[in-house]
Each structure stands twice: as C-alpha cells, then as structure tokens.
Amino acid sequence: MKHRFFLRSLLAVAATAAFALPAFAQAPIVIKFSHVVANDTPKGHAADFFKKKAEELTKGKVKIEVYANSTLYKDKEEMEALQIGAVQMLAPSLAKFGPLGVKEFEVFDLPYIFDDYNELHKITQGPMGRTMLDKLEPKGIRGLAYWDNGFKSFSSNKPMKTPADFKGMKMRIQSSKVLESQMRSLGSLPQVLAFSEVYQALQTGVVDGTENPISNLYTQKMHEVQKHLTMSEHGYLGYAVITNKKFWDGLPADIRKQLEEAMVQATKFANDVAKSENDKSLDAVKKSGKTQVYVPTPEERTALKKALVKTHAEMESRIGKELIQSIYKETGFDPAKL
Ligand code: LMR
C-alpha cells in the first residue's frame, strides 16, 4: 500500500517535471557572429565584449558564438551568409558595402576626408550615420552600430615617401571603387583580395603592398613580409555592425531590447579601445625590427595628400556630390585649401 502511494507520488513529480522541463530546458537563441580579423584587434575585442554583455543581460537566453579570423566565412561569403540567415551578425568594414549596391558607405574610404576620430564620430555617431545604416534595410540587413578600427597606412617592400614611389606597384585593396581610384591616382595597380588572402599574396609577391590600420597589419603578421611601413594615415577603416533584419525583427521584444543595450555598451567599448589597440600594435611592429617605420615629413604628407584627394572629385558621380559636401560641412574639410 505504502509502496503504491510512493510510486504514485513519484509519477506525479515526474509528470510535473516533464511539464516544467521545456521552460527550464528551452534552448537559447544562438547568434553566430562571424568576422575576418584576429581576436586581438579592436573588432575582435569588441565582438567578445558584446558576447559577454549580451549573454549577461539576456541571462543566458541568448548565446553568441563568435567566429574570428575568417574561420567561418571570407569577406564576400560572409555578406551572403548573413542575407540567407546562415549567420546572424557581422561587422564588415565600411569599404565592403559597395558590392552590395549601397555605394554611400564608400564615402568613408575617401582619402584624408577625416583628420581624426573626432571628425569621424560627427558622422558615425550622428544622424548622418544612422541614415546611412537605414539604407541597408532593403537588402534585408539591419545596421546596429559603427565600430572603429583606425587610420590606414601604406606598407610594401620598398620605401614610399613621394607619390612617384607608388608608381606601378601592385597594391591590395578591399572591394571598394573609391580605393581602386585612390590607388590609381598614385599610379599603382589596385587588386581586390579577401582579407584572409592578403598575407600569402604579400609573401609570394602576388601583390607588392597594401594599406591597413596597424592592428590588422600586426595581427596578420603582414609586417613580417613587408619591409617598409609609411605612417601615411591617409584613410579610415571602420565597421558597420549588422544583423539579418528578419531575424532581428523576429526576436522577442524584451530580448531585442537587451541586445540593443549590449550593443550600446560594446560600441562604447570598441570606440574607446580602437586607438590604443592600434598604438600597441605599432609599438609591437617597431619592436619586431622586421619593418622600417617611416613617418612622412609635413611636406611629404602634403604632396601625398594632394595626389590622393583628387579621388574625391573623381568619385562624386558614384557616391553623390551632396553626401561628400555634407561631410565636408560637418568636418570642415576643404580640398581647395590644400
Ligand atoms: C580588410 O579587408 O583589410 C579589412 O576590412 C579587414 C577588417 O575587417 O578589418
């Protein structure tokens, strides 16, 4: 008798547990966040920070899987993967949105359009930046934030001091028509390559040189296969953090809100550390002794600037004169004053 009572109680407990179980065992929402750079870079650190914050704020209801260093997808493939929903988040550089048909982002590639992070933030952290992100919506993409990397410098196996030094050099670029025009304005031969292919292309001589913020150069060990680095800091490289719009809109409202909060915090973190991360990498490159780091004189810098800024007028019809002018207005840049 006692035995049967015990058995019945046991079954009741088991039944309650079985009903209760789905609530406890509900699988977390998984967000695959793919990117192409090393973990130890501004973007890598920011993606890891976002993961931590997002999992914390959603109390584990969301799991972020970060795939760094092109382990999941390379440049072009990652964009396609996001659109079909194979991954949920990316942070491609702004130079990589042109092939998607959103040419406005290439305005960020114009050489010397921003002198420093402060000028840049007037755009990326202001209403113009938001309007540009909204242009991604018809492509099934929701733009969440801008994360900084830094200002690019040229590297190659020969010294580059004057515009003439660039003549005939095969230079790797990202998939941006503005960067193509920029390299041509120096008489170089631009070659689009996925980021994951750059080290080998430099090592084997497929290309002679490239341009990068120092954090990318150092963490991909490009300084080991490039004898010279000219601190031209001629152009900006940063990211738009993006998600698949359908996925994002389909999230429970409370979770979406928590993820938005995690993104606000990650963006602050990203933009706070970007400069010091690049400074750290520059120190490491210098210490390695593998590359000669050259800082152009003011005269050399002006000559380079004059040659490169021609790109602005050349790209007007592609990017839009109005957009370029409104950036000049925000930052105070005036090409006529060079
Ligand atoms: C590049 O391809 O050089 C960069 O866009 C890589 C990156 O994501 O910083």
| Distance from the alpha carbon of residue 36 to the mean position of ligand 1, in angstroms | 7
Q: Average pLDDT of 29-58?
A: 98
Q: Is the pLDDT of residue 10 over 50?
A: no
| Distance from the alpha carbon of residue 310 to the mean position of ligand 1, in angstroms | 24
Please tell us whether the domain made up of 29-332 is placed in CATH 3.40.190.170.
Answer: yes
Q: Is the pLDDT of residue 167 over 80?
A: yes
Q: What is the pLDDT of residue 7?
A: 47
Phi, psi of 77 (to 5 degrees): -65, -35
Query: Using CB atoms within 10 A of its CB, is residue 7 exposed (0-12), middle (13-18) or buried (19+)?
Result: exposed
Task: Please indicate whether residue 70, judged by its CB atom, sits closer than 6 Å to ligand 1.
Answer: no
Nearest residue (by CA) to ligand 1, atom 6, is 195
pLDDT 10s digits, 242-278: 999 999 999 999 999 999 999 999 999 999 999 999 9
Task: Write down the domain spans for the chain.
Answer: 29-332
| pLDDT band per the 50, 70, 90 thresholds, residue 336 | confident
pLDDT 10s digits, 172-190: 999 999 999 999 999 999 9
pLDDT 10s digits, 210-223: 999 999 999 999 99
Average pLDDT of the residues of the chain = 94
- Residue from 45, 72, 191, 237 whose mutation best tests the ligand 1 pocket (most atoms within 8 A of CB): 237
The DSSP secondary-structure symbol of 26 reads P
| pLDDT band per the 50, 70, 90 thresholds, residue 139 | very high
Up-side HSE of residue 295: CA atoms within 13 Å toward CB? Answer: 3
Q: Average pLDDT of 15-32?
A: 66
160, 230 in Cβ contact below 8 A?
yes
User: Hey, CA dihedral for 212, 213, 214, 216, is it positive or negative?
Assistant: negative
Distance CA 129, CA 115 (A): 17
Task: Please indicate whether residue 93, judged by its CB atom, sits closer than 6 Å to ligand 1.
Answer: yes
Q: Average pLDDT of 21-48?
A: 89
Task: Please indicate whether residue 149, judged by its CB atom, sits closer than 6 Å to ligand 1.
Answer: yes
201, 207 in Cβ contact below 8 A?
yes
List the beta bridge partners of residue 153. Answer: 212
Atom nearest to 36 CA in ligand 1 = 8
**Residue 132, amino acid:** M
Task: Please indicate whether residue 37, judged by its CB atom, sits closer than 6 Å to ligand 1.
Answer: yes
Q: Average pLDDT of 166-171?
A: 98
Q: What is the pLDDT of residue 337?
A: 86
Nearest residue (by CA) to ligand 1, atom 3, is 195
Write b or e for each residue in 306-316: b if 16 or more Cβ atoms lie within 10 A of its Cβ, otherwise e: ebbbbbbeebe
pLDDT 10s digits, 78-112: 999 999 999 999 999 999 999 999 999 999 999 99
